[in-house]
Chains A and B, each alone.
Chain A
Amino acid sequence: MPVAIDLSQVSVTFGTGDRSIEAISEVTLTVQEGEFVSLIGHSGCGKSTLLRVIADIIPPTTGHVEVLGVAPTDARRQRAVSMVFQQSVLMPWETVLANVRMPLEVGPQVRRSPDAMSPHDALRLVELDGFENAYPSQLSGGMRQRVSIARALVTRPRILLMDEPFGALDELVRDTLNVEILRIWKETGMTIVFVTHSLQEAVFLSQRVAVMSRRPSRIARTIHVDLPQDRQISVKDSSALGRHVSRLRAVLDEG
């Protein structure tokens, strides 16, 4: 399998002098194409920072980053990477459809690639067809997050970075969206890197869970999840999942 994301010895330091903070320290991580990897770790350990390095929002202070075999900036310019935040970050002045279409209307002309999805298809993928003309304020939190996922999918990215995307939602909505994101992952064959505070969610979704240690943090351990590929929501209550969660908690407590 080709490599989607290759981080070697990546460090990020914010600020300079004695007020500088080393957010992440010599992180090495490889994600294969088509993989679903979750990142967990204590608050402030640098999970968001790591995603932002991959998305080319901030440059690494030291170390080497490759995304789909090229520099992060090139991957970004090729529209290969999409990002979903904890907040849906929708534009309240635009309709759902206009919000989802926006990625196709900005950026250099090359991005209007023929393989982009139609915004309607993207909305269908998150089961929001029929809401094209609604405004974000008329949607529930879960629906808004679906819109932001549709907006991320519309460019047909090869890598989807999700930073606690369901962290602000209640458990029932979270369960539904967990199942949905797995379905979308299988349908699209994307690589997904998923940050969460919920160990259960991390295990349920991922093939691999990377645990980050406290600051200055590195990847403490990576754990493979050997649950059946076809995961129903009932898997969340299974003892197999529980055992994985316990293992993760043990690793977290060490760090």
Chain B
Amino acid sequence: MTHTNSTRFAGGSGFAGLRERFAAFRGGIRGLVMAALGLAIVLLVWQAIVRAFSVPVYLVPAPTDVLVALYNDRILLAQNAVPTITEAALGFLLGNIFAILVAISFVYNKIVEDLFYPVAILIKTIPIIAIAPVLKIMLGNGIEPKVLIAALICFFPTLVNAVQGFRAVNPQLIELMHVLSASKTQVFRRVRFYAALPYAFAALKVSVTMCVLGAIVGEWIGANTGIGYLILQSMYVFDTPRLFATIIVASLMAIAGFALVTWVESRVIHWDPGENF
């Protein structure tokens, strides 16, 4: 984190900064190559075992069978990915925006926090899967229950982290703002907001993968389209290669979301959150 910082400022980056960056780049490449190699080994062993013991394809397909399914069903997979991505993305936005608004109200008003934080924790202990049928009854078969389940899953990690983050301010900075007669809102906009960002992003990285899960669970309860629906369909007809291909698509969604949030984080947080001068 510190070396990306020092290269940002033209005056501070010299030859050393450049070399450091190159070393980091090479280290990143090496990590990627090793990870790809490890994955390749696992896939090869998998392929060899399935072929050597002639495992029936409906039980465990070989990686090549899955690849063929990914290619053959590409249109079907893409068509069903669209609603799931939509539900997950809407749920992500809804859940996180709401969580941050609630966290702000907690920080502004201790009474609100004392009243509703325990309620939030209580709701959190209920397994989401158990709530899903209730939401289906209340909201029907449309997109709404899926979005809501995805939002619910996102809500809690972000709420907890945002509350913690808004408070994770150097107490001397708060004293300084007091000496400057800064208002609560000014302290919030100038200090708490930035102090909370690293915490918020940590939560967003968790919830971006969880919201895909939420959308899929929502589809399981009742849907005629989407990745969750396709998983059930493939299971009923014992189309195991397609089932695996669908799982891969779901996992790619989560990875893409994670990469996106990580990228935004690296753009937004340009300072080292660990440092406290």
Contacts and interface: CB of A to CB of B under 8 A. Distances in A.
Interface of A: 52, 55-57, 76-77, 79, 81-83, 85, 87-93, 102-103, 105-108, 111, 131, 133-138, 144, 155
B178 A91 contact: no
Contacts of A56: 178-179
B6 interface: yes
B271 A135 contact: yes
B181 interface: yes
Chain B interface bracket (under 10, 10 to 19, 20 to 34, 35 or more):
20 to 34
Contacts of A81: 179
Contact of A137 (B11, B176, B194, B275): B275
Contacts of A133: 9
Contact of A82 (B12, B179, B272): B179
A135 B191 contact: no
Nearest to B182: A106
A88 B277 CA distance: 6
Of A77, A82, A135, most buried by chain B (CB within 10 Å of CB) is: A135
Contact of B272 (A79, A105, A137, A155): A137
B183 A106 contact: yes
Nearest to B272: A137
Interface of B: 2, 5-6, 8-9, 11-12, 170, 172-173, 175-183, 186, 190-191, 194, 269-273, 275-277
Main secondary structure of the interface of A (DSSP, over half): loop
A91 B190 contact: yes
B14 to A, nearest CB: 12
B5 A103 contact: no
A138 B190 contact: no
B272 A92 contact: yes
A87 B277 contact: yes
A159 B12 CA distance: 35
Given A55-B179, A90-B277, 20 more contacts: A57-B175, A76-B179, A79-B181, A87-B276, A89-B170, A89-B277, A91-B191, A91-B194, A92-B273, A92-B277, A102-B180, A106-B177, A106-B181, A111-B181, A135-B5, A137-B5, A137-B271, A137-B272, A138-B5, A138-B12
Contacts of B170: 87, 89
A55 B179 CA distance: 6
B16 to A, nearest CB: 13
Contacts of A88: 277
A243 B103 CA distance: 58
Contacts of B276: 87
B176 A83 contact: yes
A147 to B, nearest CB: 9
